[in-house]
Structure 1
């Protein structure tokens, strides 16, 4: 298949994911005032600016608990850096900062990224945001940090760099040079029809570079954020197009999972695909792994899946959000909805989601 038409074909091949017509909810909330949304964004971007070091990288967090000025953390990751890049472009697009301010910020970050140690064209999971050195000990505890290349975290940095190149064309040659050696096949295990467990045609979670040891797991679930790496690799030609069809809409019906899926087998582009779905609140939906909003909706912030594939991604994104709303407001009666992994005020990181919308038996 022509790679330029891959994603369109993925949409027209929507029989492999089609879930039927969208049913409008009985009551639809009034649209949020765009001025309020812009206020939220402006406040969020102020935190991004406060977390950006003089070196040009966004830190992982900022400590507001002390009596003095906020304290930036030592560590940063590829995802943090990518978020800083696309947030800066968005800030200029919304008029929160001037274009000249955007150019200066992007240039500083790209210069910092050029200095970061890489392996196989990709970035390690943790750096010192203040000087770009690789973290070998965790700040505050001294625990050793093994050097690790994460496929999904690298996807977010590559996404941020591509957005920066589009927003600031003068930076494109430098960004192209940075990305020239990023080959997604490094994370890929080719499909082996004789042994699809060992050769699933999927991306591994990552590789520890001190031993060149890959993770034992692959990212198998389609409706999760690692599909961003899949899109990037298919688009640049380093991954085969049939990789898309080897990711799972649900686990196979004979495997243990959150609920027994409905559906059946279809053949798309010569690949036999289990066209599975879950049912939640009477709606067919393609689940994520843990039932979180982030897994389902991070990718369509950058890839217009719902436009390219309205009968497939368009339907499931809509129903997934309705499922989050129904769970938060009606089933659990929390009074709020939209659950994703996040940092918590007590310090640390916890995973949140809606069990019924995720494949994992214990959910998030």
Structure 2
């Protein structure tokens, strides 16, 4: 028997599956796993060529689907919502695989948490650096207040650095894993880059449009009526390139999909929609669609059911609220601590600076979440 400790196995499921297949090829067959302790136990046997796939979700506890069984899949191990499937066929010959949607949803939630931690730690580190820079530029003498518990201070600093490294490493691994997992659902390649048209062109930046996508759609449609034709979206989906041409009656739709199902792009393209942009980010899966509308015709809609789009807007609002709420709460606690310190101790410029930065951060992240709910409310009132 052989036991292997693999602490971040779930952040790189394709790598873990390839590792299990490689172990089987060397004669080490997975016998049991303890996912809480991150331990995998193998027994020695004959080398064999196997294909593994790890699934996650409530359905994993159910009997194996007939379509998977017909393709040669069998359950090897089960623990909680996790299930390890095994197949004796080479991966190139397998046409049906267990679903990845719940795994992608889980990875998205974990990414939200680590992104919040990363932003929080970076801003916490930035605030004293800005305060020191401001003090140094004004030639203000710097007074170091001795800490009564240096051991606790350095321990907290070391834990913060470790948490920062963990957050960065986890986000990198999750993003790479999601990119590979999503290949089973859709082609992630961006639309082909258009050539710059001849004539007058301009570029306009729209930051934070994903918090109010209906405002972006209306803005683009108004540009088209003025004769500014959108031909490219760049710089992370925030820079819009226009060329001067004829006025057009265009319909734009910004669509948010956590996991684009099979046939998602083909379905809309066959209906006459053109994909202008698809975000490459694992946290924000936005696709911008466009369609020209002939004269005297009703404007087309990407989703004809108003309830579907309302549910879609609600999902956007909940997703961004879950992303920003932890940071808002953490900054609120820090502001309370700073205000309490100012009331009890001597008022200093650095304390006022730190409190102001924290308060502005609360307003900024709160406005992001609030705008998504205003978008939901606008659709609800239509």
Q: Which has the larger radius of gyration?
A: 2
Larger RCO (CA under 8 A, 6+ residues apart): 1
Task: Tell me whether the two structures share a fold, i.e. TM-score over 0.5.
Answer: no
TM-score normalised over the length of structure 2: 0.26
**Which has more helix, going by share of residues?**
2
